[in-house]
Structure 1
Amino acid sequence: MGSDLSVRRTFALAFVALLVFAAGSSLAFDPVDDGSLGPGTLDRQPSNATVVSTQGVHFAGQVDRSRPPRLLSIDPDGDLRWQYEGDHGEGAGGWFYDIDPLPNGNLLVVSPRGGETLVYELDRETRERVWTERLPFRDTHDVDRLDDGRLVVAHMRADVDNGTSRDRIVVWNRSRSEVTWEWRFADHFPADTDGGVDDDWTHVNDVDPVGEDRLLVSPRNFDQVLLINRTTGDIEMRLGRDGNTDILHAQHNPDYLRGPNGTPTVLVADSENDRVVEYARRGDSWERTWTLTGNLTWPRDADRLPNGNTLVVDSLGHRVIEVTPTGRIVWEFYATWAPYDAERLGTGDGSNGPTAVELNETGTHVVHGGAGESPGAGRRTPDAWLDRHTDGLAIERPAAALAAWWGAPGPVVPARVAVAVGLSRDHPRRRRRRDLADGGGVLAVG
């Protein structure tokens, strides 16, 4: 009885706090009017603009119009040049994931909604679509354009009709609207990997062409990055191991670099470990050569720039930062809500810079120099404000739950609040922060 009463009181506190906080939030934390889209530290001005994709916030499959998904273009001096919501701002479901600069200056945009994924070329100046492809794949995170115009797609969902895995990498022919090549995870991994096949078995969230016939692939739920030979179908290199979260833990957006003498190197946002890491391959094993940690909350993208700095998307810090090899922030932009991908225009797609070994800056470095008053998200986001102003008070625990909800992009409040307050047991399969931050608290989308 006492336990039930305690639970009810906790929920009551959380509910009251939610009502009070929500009542004032539209005035205090409007994502446009309060400056939550704006610069932080600006110690260095890059040569070109930075483009960012954000997921926004959703309720019951509908976009919260006060916190919509959007694409942002930020000038070197930190001014917001434009923001683009597409049809999300009118209430259409879905969000933005990967965004790639194309050789002609336009952007390749990935935007899932419902049971399909829209991929389109967006004119960066007019914000009009040049072409649109509707892929019959649900919740696809990454699509890249190959040199011949075909699309390589990270397809992560099961066949809902018969319950079998269809997690795969495919090449999509736009002129014929069909798959012309595929690589199936079920052909290369035991069915009991990560607890067994389900609707979100691999959660493969990234695929990047490497040279003419290789693909760098990120099955997030397997805690691994793979280099696949498209011709033979073989896995040529494997970084990480399912369940060994010391190496990688639910990573996002790995990039392939070549170090001294062509050393294979991977730079990756190690999301659940709240860090960015770089690994170099020595013989048959991998050595972690660089770690960026501290003051990061669920980073989901990291690009090595030609100048040796790294552009990092600090997703639940709601910001994009450029850091030196030793972790000092030299450029910072707060980009609510839940930024996913960022690209510095004029530097190519993804990473096109030197490795940590080439920079002679190996080791572990702490992120520092941000404009925020508190570590992580900083002064511009309401979740950080709530954390800071309820610290030590009787409502601290439910307030922390609400802060976790507020800082997250997904749709369902009760599941998040229950988990964050500690009322929900861990799922038999590892519960990760993504379960709080992604759609529905249980169905992961990030």
Structure 2
Amino acid sequence: MVSRRAVRLLFATLLVVSISGLAYGAATAPTTASADDVPRPEPRDGHTVVTESAKFGTIVAWRPNGSLLYYDDTHTKYFDVDPVANESLTVEYTATDTIHTSGPTCESPPCTRNVVERVNLSTGETREIYARYDDSELAAEWHDHVRVDDERILIADIVDDQVFLVNTTTELVEWRWNAQSDFPVEGGGPYPEDWAHINDVSLLDDGRVMVSLRNQDQVVFLDRETGLVDEWTLGSDGDHDTLYEQHNPDYIPPERGGPAVLVADSENGRIVEYQRVDPDTGQATTAGDGVWNRTWQWRDARLQWPRDADRLPNGHTLIADTHGKRVVEVDEQGEIVWSVPVSHPYEVERLETGAESAGGESAARLGLESRTAERSDGGGFDPLDPLSDLVTFVVPSRVVNGVIFLSPVWMGRPEFAAALFGLGAALAWIGAEARWRLPALGVRWPVFRKK
């Protein structure tokens, strides 16, 4: 019979292992708390820009040789970033400031100020394009914008569940689409707190507008004259086999092997691409009776809540792995050929390749094969890997992502697993001690065997 002392020693050992795992994770986690802390990646063709939307709100840019070109943490959160056409090393981004003090712009804190800005990364010169105050903080951000012409931009507006076209000179809204015009409030997220969570907008070459409704698990297409093009919708509310609270879909047009949509399928922990095909022939089509067929998928054992993926002109895919705390570039064979640790990346851009997936071809045309890689990031064995793998099978991804999002910046899936492991050991130890003491307290179990 195992002695109580041995059992206590076992539980103590398990707690030490858990605490050691948390300490190791905290000590080795990447940080972008300051410019000096930003990791320096290996050289890569072109300038790379990354935004962070929580923990540390930053925008970071690296030169091709891996040295730091630009760093700013002025705003609370940074989201979409795109290169400005015909302007060297210049980008536009959306950002959010949280207002914690009462004043003329915030009667009942916390409130939000959303802004679109343009910055020259080499000189640091910054110009405000358009801004708006909102009277809440919860789900009150602009996650994306797209430049239409010299005066007008499209904005994905989460707080009002809408996409709108605004003239930044006159500040007049010239067109808007509200998700309530086509979707019931009974679906999606909680209404009105965070119902649709419109986190991405794209202007297609044919004039249509593509929009990501995260909480409806759908990517929709809009005609600015007639509204929702229902037969083109990708996904449906609650159909998590197709999409599960996705981010940043990129449209690949027919001339580059589409119609196709490359998307960070966030809660499913994967990058996927869907091709629009004729249901009878399986050939790519723009016809109204086409269907979306999944043609490519990528994930590895570390990928956790990815929120951006861009197809580069060389056939590689650039990925922002938010809770995996890294940015990676994956080649045509699914191998990671470039990686840099980042605390909480939201979006990544390779400036010389154009905005998002401009210039990139579809997986079907490139002949990409789906891959579920093992530990392909070249990082070797991590002592927390076994715990991380275990928690993947036991705990729903949405629970893991929610805990990591609200936890300290160094908390990732391995650290979550270590904490969960330690909590289980502590509760089991408490239970064992209580059971051993029950007879001394004169308490008997309600169910017992009669002698």
For normalisation by structure 1, the TM-score amounts to 0.71
Which residue pairs with 1:170 in the alignment? Answer: 164
Match for residue 120 of structure 1 among 104, 117, 121: 117
Equivalent residue for 2:350? 344
Q: CA deviation at 1:246?
A: 0.3
SS of equivalent to 1:127: coil
Distance 2:409 2:47 in 1: 34
1:357 deviation in Å? 1.1
Amino acid at match of 2:209: L
Q: Which has the larger radius of gyration?
A: 2
Q: Cα–Cα, structure 1 residues 372 and 33, in superposed 2: closer, same or farther, change >3 Å?
A: farther
Query: Where do residues 424-435 of structure 1 align in structure 2 (5 Å cutoff)?
Result: none
For 2:373 and 2:295, the matched residues in 1 are separated by: 14
Aligned: 1:310 with 2:349:
no
Amino acid at match of 2:121: R
Mapping for residues 63-74 of structure 1, pairs under 5 Å: 68-74=56-62
Number of equivalences: 365
Which of 74, 95, 111 matches 1:111?
Answer: 95
Superposed CA offset, 1:191-225 (max 9, x none)? 21226632210001000110152111000000010
Residue of structure 2 equivalent to 1:437: none
Instruction: Supply the distance in 1 between the matched residues of 2:58 and 2:367 (Cα, whole angstroms).
Output: 37
- Please say if residues 291 and 364 of structure 1, whose CA atoms lie closer than 8 Å, have aligned partners that are also in contact: yes
Structure 2 contact 188–215 (Cα < 8 Å) conserved: yes
Q: Check whether the contact 1:329–1:370 (CA below 8 A) recurs between aligned residues.
A: yes
Residues 173 and 409 of structure 1: is their aligned pair in 2 closer, same or farther, counting only changes over 3 Å?
farther
- The superposition leaves residues 301-344 of structure 1 with CA deviations (integer Å, 9 ceiling, x where unpaired) of 000000000001111111111101221011111112x1000000
Deviation, structure 1 residue 19: 13
> For 1:390-428, what per-residue CA distance to the aligned partner results, in whole angstroms no more than 9, with x for missing partners?
889xxxx9xxxxx97895367899xx99xx8599xxxxx
1:83 to 52, 71, 75: 71
Amino acid at match of 2:84: L
Q: Distance in 1 between matches of 2:46 and 2:198?
A: 31
> Could you tell me how far apart the structure 2 residues matched to 1:314 and 1:149 are?
33
Distance of aligned partners of 1:404 and 1:246 in 2 relative to their CA distance in 1, 3 Å threshold:
closer
Gapped runs of 5+ residues in structure 1?
1-9, 58-67, 89-93, 158-165, 380-384, 398-402, 424-446
Distance change (3 Å), C-alpha of 1:26 and 1:304: closer
Q: Which runs of 4+ in 1 moved over 4 A?
A: 17-22, 24-30, 32-36, 259-262, 387-392, 403-407, 409-413, 420-423
Contact conserved, 2:257 with 2:361, CA < 8 A, in 1?
Answer: no
Task: Kindly state the Cα deviation for residue 127 of structure 1 after the two structures are TM-superposed.
Answer: 1.7
For 1:201, the equivalent position in structure 2 comes to: 195
**Does the C-alpha gap of structure 1 residues 404 and 219 become closer, same or farther in structure 2, counting only changes over 3 Å?**
closer
Provide the C-alpha distance between the structure 2 equivalents of 1:74 and 1:412, rounded to a whole number of angstroms: 22
RMSD, aligned CA: 3.9
Partner of 1:257: 252
Aligned-residue offset at 1:142: 0.7
Q: Which amino acid aligns with 1:124?
A: L
The amino acid of 1:340's aligned partner reads Y
**Corresponding letter in the other structure for 1:247:** T
Q: 2:153 aligned to 141, 151, 154, which one? A: 151
Within 5 Å, give how 1:242-391 maps onto structure 2. 242-259=237-254, 263-283=258-278, 284-295=290-301, 296-336=303-343, 338-351=344-357, 352-366=359-373, 369-374=376-381, 387=384
8 Å CA contact retained: 1:113, 1:139:
no
- For 2:285, the equivalent position in structure 1 comes to none
Q: Give the gaps of 5 or more residues in structure 2.
A: 1-10, 99-111, 135-139, 279-289, 395-399, 424-451
TM-aligned CA distance change 1:259 to 1:294, over 3 Å: farther
Is contact 2:30-2:325 (8 Å) kept?
no
**Offset, 1:38:** 2.5
User: 1:228 offset after TM fit, Å?
Assistant: 1.0
SS of structure 1 residue aligned to 2:364:
helix
Q: Distance in 1 between matches of 2:21 and 2:315?
A: 46
Report which stretch shifted further, 193-202 or 231-240. Answer: 193-202
- Kept in 2, the 8 Å contact 1:280–1:286? The answer is yes
Distance 1:37 1:96 in 2: 16
140 and 282 in structure 1: CA distance in 2 versus 1, 3 angstrom threshold: same
Say yes or no: does 1:179 pair with 2:173.
yes
Please tell me the residue identity of whatever aligns with 1:117. Answer: N
Match of 2:428 in 1: none
1:358 aligned counterpart, secondary structure: helix
- Specify the SS of the correspondent of 1:357: helix
